[in-house]
Amino acid sequence: MPDDRDTWRLVLRGLDHTATQGYRTSFAGCTEAQREAIVSEFVQGCLVGGAWDELNVTRAWSVVMRATLAAFYSHPWAWNEIGFGGPAYPRGFMRLGGPGTDGTGVREPFEKPGATHEDPVPIVENWEH
């Protein structure tokens, strides 16, 4: 298995190869349904030909997902979705129930109010449209 950086390059070439073979366009030029079909084959480890012959496809999926999930869960909005209040180090939390969990909106002494009070979920859902 090549270095992760090379794996990414090969995966991108492989996605384009599969799209070109199956749909006569680049992966980016595919419809959403076509891209989902290709990624589904990638998940199952069923892709062959072109750059895929240079990779262990199942391992490549693991490399791609590891980086994707690390990027996704590095964002505070994703922390909010999974109930993670953010890193407590170095101060720790005085209010173990979490700031405002009792509905009072009480913050830790060192906390500042957020830039906005909007719920990120509807905002992200609207980005797709």
Residues 123 and 85 in one domain: yes
Residues 16 and 79 in one domain: no
Helix, strand, coil abundance in the chain, percent, nearest 5: 55, 0, 45
Q: What is the mean pLDDT of residues 13-40?
A: 96
- Number of structural domains (the chain) is 2
Share of the chain above pLDDT 90, in %: 51
Listed residue (46, 32, 34, 120) closest to 76, CA to CA: 120
Domain of 4 in residue numbering reads as 1-72
Condensed to tens digits (0 to 9), the pLDDT of residues 55-97 reads 999 999 999 999 999 998 888 888 878 878 777 666 666 666 5
Three-state SS annotation for 29-58: CCCHHHHHHHHHHHHHCCCCCHHHHHCCHH
Share of the chain above pLDDT 70, in %: 78
